[in-house]
Amino acid sequence: MSPRQPDPAYDIIGTRPPRFDAADKVTGRAVFGADVKLPGMLCGKILRSPHAHARIVFLDTSRAAALPGVLAIVTAADLPRAEDRTDVLGEGTVNYKYQSDSTMASDKVLYHGHPVAAVAARTETIAEEALRLIRVEYDILPPVMDVAEAMKANAPLLHEHMITKSLAKPGMRPSNIASHFQHVLGDLEAGFAQADVVVEREFRSVTVHQGYLEPQVTVAVWGPDDRITLYTCTQGPFDIRSQVANLLHWPMSQIRVIPTEVGGAFGGKNTSFTDVPAALLARKSGRPVKVAMSRAEVLLATGPTPGGIIRVKIGATGDGRITAARAELWYEAGAYPGSPVGAAANTMFAAYDIANGQIDGYDVVVNKPRMGAYRAPGATPANFAVETLVDELAEKIDMDPIDFRLLNCAREGTRRLTGTLHASIGVYQVLQAAKQHPHYGAPLSGRNRGRGIALGFWTNWGAQSSCLIHVNSDGTVALVTGSVDITGTRTSLAMQAAEILGLPLDQIRSSFTDTDAIGYGNTSAGSRTTMATGIAAIKAAQDVIAQMSERAAMLWGVPSGTVSYHKGTFTCSADHSLVAFKDLAGQLGHSGGTVTGNGNVNVQDWGAGCGLHMADVEVDPETGKVTILRYTTVQDVGRAIHPGQVEGQMQGGATQGIGWALYEGYAYGADGRLLNTSLLDYKMPTFLDVPPIDTVIVEAPWPGHPFGVRGVGEVPIVMPPAALGNAIYRAIGARQSCLPMTPATILESMGVI
């Protein structure tokens, strides 16, 4: 396809400038968490449980404390009693009672890698030796590693007092089922009675990690004034501040969080893992302390995305109209409640217009680390289930897969099975663009080759953002936000401000800052930053123009209402006076002082995203190996502020989804110990496994954003497993029902093994 051309209505929006952070990152000037070094800094290390489920019978740190060079040791006894209270955290929630226990185990360990104690020493070698000297005795309990086993009435309980929460009255006895919810729309039985064809399958998926390259790291300073300063790699510094304040019962005003650059996150760096141990060690030792995770610790004890079981049933008429859909989702929460099963239920059928449906979701605890967010949390395995059956329905009634989806796609005003009405949405436009793409009609010859498609949806997010724009005397401006840049948003935010200000992009300096220097902003997650913080940047730019217009009116001695602004020039309608932005900026010192534009927003309406992925594969029938021959992504982005960065998000999400589909997954032993604790054993795709990924940007502008922006980053990971699974079916004639679709599972589906 021909390269996408910028919209002539804009000067900056739609262009492809270099990323603001590119030079610093490729030259090594950028400061990541591991780069922070402070005078007198100690090395912090965490002792982790070797068992998945056990009671702590005895804990003795005296030998470690006596080791020369050890300055501090902390255990759960150093944490104040936590409140049983839940707050929103990024795209999920956090219960402080559970998070406190996950930060440092008290009476039980609930997963392999659960922190038990932490030490601070002068060197890493001494710290590691100190960990070996800590004596812990465990009463080992049977672990529960599978969601189906965990739900059984006689299953070992992780939490002896947990009662299932549901729409009905609470359960009568303790259970590993933390919660059960249900969505119902229309008449399910009547809907299936209208169907000529009904398909039903069960699907399974395993735990998958986000795969970011930079492990979590925190440098903590506890000052003599009892003020805590944390240098940490995080998506949300204000969320980290809140978590530390609640876990330590410390005033928020006494905590400063300084976010460093982030070497990958994808939802996995919203939760605090290293901050509280580092802070407590700094308090006890009176010295700065760095706690940095190893790769094994990252895989063992951070928040991966859940495995689970999904059962889906869909019915359709002979002419292709979906009449009913039913889904049951059992998601692993890990050791503590809070899986993304709600988000999965909210999005799994959302791309379709279905009049009758029911979704039941179960949040189930198992002996694994508490599950966290990963790019469209919960949606990928749910989409795998739905789109496999949609593809099967289209085949059974002999209908083109895209035409079937076009007939049933959601549009503005469609009511989802969860009850929400769709606002502006671009599903139809995405399907049309995919059908017209050369890939869809291209010949695919050869044995054991197949082409598959999958449609997907993600709801996105808005929430709170803040932005300041300072005008310098030389006419440049400095844009500062509280939104950490994890996807090139320094550039996309500056582009939106520059478009409003009518200034060249090289006149904008863009950065993010710490929690003391800017107003509150929610985490950089949920595909919200370019959209929601973009609105804050736009408002700050508009505030700059308003203030500068007042200054021009003051200098000219005319009413402010007679001053207008367009593309870098202020004009007076009364006497046609003109002044350039740069020249007026040079006169601010004697016309009222510095100008700072302010933008604070709490975005309550945001545009959902959708996309379609198309994959061609070849399957070796003897080995089960899948080779991807061609891959295309089509996505409605609302408005592409920086098309290059948008394409990068589409390709990156697709690549991660390919890994999820074909390679990735945690492997646990019968004793609950994680077996693949390195990237040698935890298989992720390399450039040898992923072909060039073609991107098609569809722009159906979201009316709630001045430029029409929708969130981009999460949609691309939703569809790859389903698209590849459907392609594999076309290649070998066997439907896939397990993630990852490894050579072994593919051969099993073929009846070879």
**3-state class (DSSP) for residue 420:** coil
The mean predicted confidence, pLDDT, of the chain is 96
Task: Kindly state the percentage of the chain with pLDDT values over 90.
Answer: 95
Here the tokens at position 648 are 């990068």
- Residues 308-350 have pLDDT tens digits of 999 999 999 999 999 999 999 999 999 999 999 999 999 999 9
Q: How far apart are CA 544 and CA 551, in angstroms?
A: 11
DSSP state of 672: S
Q: What is the per-residue pLDDT for 344?
A: 98
Of the given ranges (58-67, 81-90, 634-643), which has the lowest mean pLDDT?
Answer: 81-90
Q: 561: how many CB neighbours lie within 10 A of its CB?
A: 10
- CA pair distance 30, 233, nearest whole angstrom: 12
Q: What is the pLDDT of residue 90?
A: 62
* Non-local CB neighbours of 9 within 8 Å, separated by 6+ positions: none
DSSP states of 181-249: EEEEES-HHHHHHH-SEEEEEEEEE--B----SSPPEEEEEE-TTS-EEEEE--S-HHHHHHHHHHHHT
All structural domains of the chain with their residue ranges: 463-603
Q: pLDDT value at position 82?
A: 86
Q: Which residues pair with 614 in a beta bridge?
A: 453, 632
CB-CB contact of 237 with 482 (8 Å): yes
- The per-residue pLDDT for 171 is 75
Q: Tell me the β-bridge partners of 468.
A: 480, 598
Nearest to 108, CA basis, from 54, 68, 42: 54
Q: What is the pLDDT of residue 85?
A: 84
| DSSP conformation class of 589 | G
Nearest Cα neighbor of 632 from 710, 711, 720 is: 720
Q: Buried b / exposed e across 493-513, counting CB within 10 Å, b at 16+?
A: bbbbbbbbbbbebebbbbebb
2 pLDDT more than 60: no
Average confidence (pLDDT) over 746-752? 95
Residue 152: per-residue pLDDT? 97
Q: Is the pLDDT of residue 489 over 90?
A: yes
Residue 197 has pLDDT above 80, yes or no: yes
Q: Treating both helix axes as pointing N-terminal to C-terminal, what angle do 534-556 and 489-501 enclose, rounded to 10 degrees?
A: 30
pLDDT band of 566, cuts 50, 70, 90 = very high
- Which tens digit of pLDDT belongs to each residue from 209-253? 999 999 999 999 999 999 999 999 999 999 999 999 999 999 999
pLDDT exceeds 70 at position 37: yes
pLDDT band, very low/low/confident/very high, at 84 (cuts 50, 70, 90): confident
Peptide bond connecting 304 to the previous residue in cis, omega within 30 degrees of 0: no
Cβ pair 635, 611 in contact under 8 A: yes
For residues 674 and 667, the answer to whether their CB atoms sit within 8 Å is yes
pLDDT of residue 510 exceeding 80: yes
Statement: residue 358 has pLDDT above 50: yes
> Of the candidates 490, 215, 180, 472, which has an alpha carbon nearest to the alpha carbon of residue 328?
180
* pLDDT exceeds cutoff 60 at 654: yes
Q: How many angstroms separate the CA atoms of 453 and 190, rounded?
A: 30
Kindly report the three-state secondary structure assignment for every residue of 712-724: CCCHHHCCHHHHH
Residue 173 has pLDDT above 50, yes or no: yes
In 568-707, at which residue ranges do the beta strands (DSSP E only) sit?
569-572, 578-580, 596-603, 609-619, 626-636, 693-698
Q: Among 160, 155, 372, which Cα is nearest to 271's?
A: 372
Residue pair 194/323 in contact (Cβ under 8 Å)? The answer is yes
Per-residue pLDDT tens over the stretch 694-721: 999 999 999 999 999 999 999 999 999 9
**How far is the CA of 272 from the CAs of 106, 116, 233, 246, in angstroms?**
18, 16, 10, 11
- For residues 141 and 55, the answer to whether their CB atoms sit within 8 Å is yes
* Token duo for residue 309: 């079981």
CA-only gyration radius of the chain, Å: 27
- Nearest one of 263, 271, 238 to 252, comparing CA atoms: 238
Is the predicted pLDDT of residue 375 greater than 80, yes or no? yes
Q: First CA to last CA across the chain, in angstroms?
A: 42
The pLDDT confidence band at residue 91, using thresholds 50, 70 and 90, is low
∠ CA(537), CA(543), CA(546), 5° rounding? 145
Q: Which of 495, 502, 718 is nearest to 613 (CA)?
A: 718
Q: Is the dihedral of CA 633, 637, 643, 649 positive or negative?
A: negative
> Does domain 463-603 bear CATH number 3.30.365.10?
yes
**Higher model confidence: residue 125 or residue 8?**
125
* Arithmetic mean of pLDDT, 362-387: 98
